A and B are shown apart, each in its own frame.
Chain A
């Protein structure tokens, strides 16, 4: 009898330990879909309960004790060597004592974690840095606080790129949900050495572009280079659709067809390489640096080219986006990471103070100074960025001469991007026809909306 009692006690102990958590295997399995599906309702409830009042509390949140901190920031920049100086600057500028938590910099992991935090009404984090993909997914979820009346007021909002703000960080209710942390253009890059060699001064329109393609491409090098891995090529598909005056959400638009046929012909005429179907930017850049591409689209200010001593007016540099349409319009995408306010936050006043600072000159200057993040506001960039910065001239031109747009994304962002990339790859490999491509693309737009 004694043995039985003891054994039952042992089993009881074990059972209790097991109930603490049922997970067993280790690994990095995806939780995104589960979290996002299950989380929508909880988050909506949380958001409606908390509102924007600074003294609101969240019942469902396991509010962590942040000690003496006024605010907790969930940031991807913590491992930057200059992060501590940036933080000191921001604390001095806002008068806030900021607690910082390092966010995963790996995109899938980060999105899973943030989705869970927001969907469960976790109030342990007040401000979160999110990218365009997350912004598209979260902006209509109710998990983020609208900032129209507090931070992104009309006068401030007007100073940011309008296309980007309206397309990327404004929700269905017209509320802006984030403060863009920087501007990063999908710039048009050219190799000046190749341009000089083939005797072309500028690529201003479609004819120039085609002449350049023909002059540069010789089998060993290509007029155009890209990053056509299935989740990366989306940027270039959308860019060419814009350049032809199309609409990424409407694949019945003849301009979309023209753009896709144009890209297909670049492959067919050996003016771009099919090898790049596996290339991400890490693979594309060494080829660009080695002089294998005459021009390409790429984000950032060219630190890779600078590191290879290939950045400069006579080497690799940014150029104005060519205009492919008769109306002379130029289109450029910008991306950003935005600071957003968690609806479950119990430090809303402090969060608003922080966001106001980040939307103003002080915050943008700190980000430029310590992280080399180009200011999202053109007026601030004009003041803060020195003329010696090689990106300044072209970035200013992009801001003033181009239609600055946010990339076309749908709530199920990664699924949509991946699906479009897959059919594009099939199309340029001649596995499907242009009509098949257009039909499928339209069905994906409807499916993922």
Chain B
């Protein structure tokens, strides 16, 4: 074997080792907290802060999960979450697909460009800035603590990201396809619904998946703009206090954390490829 070949092989072996080491370190950084949350969720409250630390609980128990199922109204919260997210995804997708098409194809129109800029700019506004006026507004229009009110707020929160991704995706669809359809006699609506939107399906799927995860994680909106309609993400701050009112129930908090995390982990594991493909397709421009 020549010297050059040997060096090349050694270089590749080291490159391989480095990649795996880096991946392992990053994975550990991400997974250790998740592991710790899980361990805490199955450890009795009295053993949570033992010293020295137990990396595996001495007396594992599912008491925390049992307590949550019996006392926190999980099924009701899941039902509310499904209703709100379901409507949000359907309505926001329709709005965003149409909007993205308009923003892409008619970008030379100053008013349309301005509208796009306005929508993207709202991504930069912290929720805290609009919280109080919006709270009063929602009350005045009788949308506070209602399904329609929450759905509108959820939709408004997913629109900027969705439009951004979908618009970039539309820009990669050659206009010549629409021109060919026009020559064949298709009108504007037909071109939109029979040519462009079918080609956008992968991006639409990706946006739906990402929006689903974001909606599931959305804590601020349901906490602030509803009282009676409670969703899964808010449950983590509605756990019973310990008897002196100062102790945080870390065992229950961890169990609730896992209940919220689990569907997201499963969802991402199943649709990981679509999520990455969609982000790359929509987020990267030549």
* Residue ranges of A at the interface with B (Cβ–Cβ < 8 Å): 2-4, 6-8, 10-11, 13-15, 17-18, 20-31, 34-35, 38-39, 60-62, 64, 74, 76-81, 101-106, 109-110, 113, 116, 119-120, 122, 124-125, 131, 184, 232, 280-283, 285-287, 290, 298-301, 303-304, 307-308, 335, 337, 372
Q: How far is the CB of B23 from chain A (nearest CB, A)?
A: 28
Verify A77–B240 contact, CB threshold 8 A.
Answer: yes
Q: Which residue of A lies closest to B225 (CB)?
A: A21
Contact B131 A31 (CB under 8 A): yes
Check B138–A372 contact: CB distance below 8 A: no
Per the bound structure, the CA–CA distance linking A109 and B239 in Å amounts to 12
- Cross-chain contact A31 with B128 (CB below 8 angstroms): yes
- A29–B127 Cα distance when bound, in Å, is 8
B35 close to A (CB within 8 Å): no
Known: A3-B106, A31-B132, A34-B132. A300 touches B243 (CB 8 A): yes
Instruction: State the Cβ distance, A146 to closest chain B Cβ, in Å.
Output: 25
Q: List chain A residues, Cβ under 8 A from B101.
A: 10
CB pair B144–A7 under 8 Å, yes or no, is: no
Give me 17 A-to-B residue pairs in the complex whose CB atoms sit less than 8 angstroms apart, sorted by A's number. Answer: A13-B98, A17-B156, A17-B159, A21-B130, A21-B157, A23-B221, A24-B124, A24-B161, A25-B127, A26-B157, A31-B128, A74-B227, A113-B224, A116-B135, A120-B136, A298-B244, A307-B45
List residues of chain A with CB within 8 A of the CB of B105. Answer: 3, 7
Q: Which residue of B lies closest to A106 (CB)?
A: B237
> Once bound together, how far apart are the Cα atoms of A15 and B116, in whole Å?
9
Are A14 and B46 in contact, with the CB atoms below 8 A? no
Top 4 nearest A-B pairs (CB, nearest first) are A62-B139, A300-B244, A106-B237, A23-B127
* Besides A18-B156, A24-B157, A303-B244, 4 other A-B contacts (C-beta < 8 A): A14-B115, A25-B126, A116-B224, A280-B246
Query: Quick one: given A23-B221, A286-B51, are A6 and B188 in contact (CB under 8 Å)?
Result: yes
Q: Closest chain A residue to B227 by CB distance?
A: A101
The answer to whether B123 and A24 have CB atoms under 8 Å apart is: yes
B181 to chain A, nearest CB (A): 14
CB distance from B55 to the nearest CB of A (A): 16
**Cα(A303)–Cα(B240), bound, Å:** 14
Cβ contacts B116-155/A at 8 Å (1 or 0 each): 0011001111111111101110111110110000001101
A20 touches B155 (CB 8 A): yes
* Inter-chain contact B128/A30, CB cutoff 8 Å: yes
Please state if B245 and A335 are interface contacts (CB–CB under 8 Å): yes
A124 with B132, Cβ < 8 A, contacts A7-B102, A10-B98, A335-B245 known: no
Q: Would A116 and B220 be within 8 Å (CB), given that A29-B127, A62-B139, A281-B246 are in contact? A: no
| Cα A403 to Cα B234 with chains together (Å) | 40
Chain B residues within an 8 Å CB radius of A106 = 236-237, 248
Assess whether B139 is in contact with A4, with CB atoms less than 8 Å apart.
no
Contact B238–A104 (Cβ < 8 Å): yes
CA distance A216 to B131 in the complex (A): 54
- Contacting pair B223 A104 (CB below 8 A): yes
Tell me if B46 and A304 are in contact (CB < 8 A).
Answer: yes
Which B residues touch A80, using CB under 8 A?
71, 240
The answer to whether A62 and B144 have CB atoms under 8 Å apart is yes
CA distance A81 to B72 in the complex (A): 9
Residues of chain B contacted by A4 (CB below 8 angstroms): 106, 109
Q: Is the CB of A105 within 8 A of B243?
A: no
Contact B155 A35 (CB under 8 A): no
CB closest chain-A residue, reference B240? A79
In the assembled complex, the Cα of A304 lies from the Cα of B250 at a distance in Å of: 14
Instruction: Across the interface, name the chain B residue whose C-beta is closest to A78.
Output: B238
Interchain nearest-CB distance for B35 vs A (Å): 20
Are B227 and A125 within 8 A (Cβ)?
yes
Given contacts A62-B139, A124-B145, A282-B248, contact A14 B243 (CB under 8 A): no
> Is the pair B51, A8 in contact by a Cβ cutoff of 8 Å?
no
**B112 and A11 contacting across the interface, CB-CB below 8 Å:** yes
Measured CB to CB, the nearest residue on chain A to B122 is A22
A interface footprint on B216-231 (CB within 8 Å = 1, 0 otherwise): 0111110110011010
Question: Do A79 and B159 have beta carbons less than 8 Å apart?
Answer: no
Confirm or deny: B214 has a beta carbon within 8 angstroms of a beta carbon on chain A.
yes
- Given A22-B156, A184-B245, verify A7-B112 contact (CB < 8 Å): yes
Q: Enumerate chain B residues within 8 angstroms of A61, measured Cβ to Cβ.
A: 139
Chain B, Cβ-Cβ closest to A372: B243
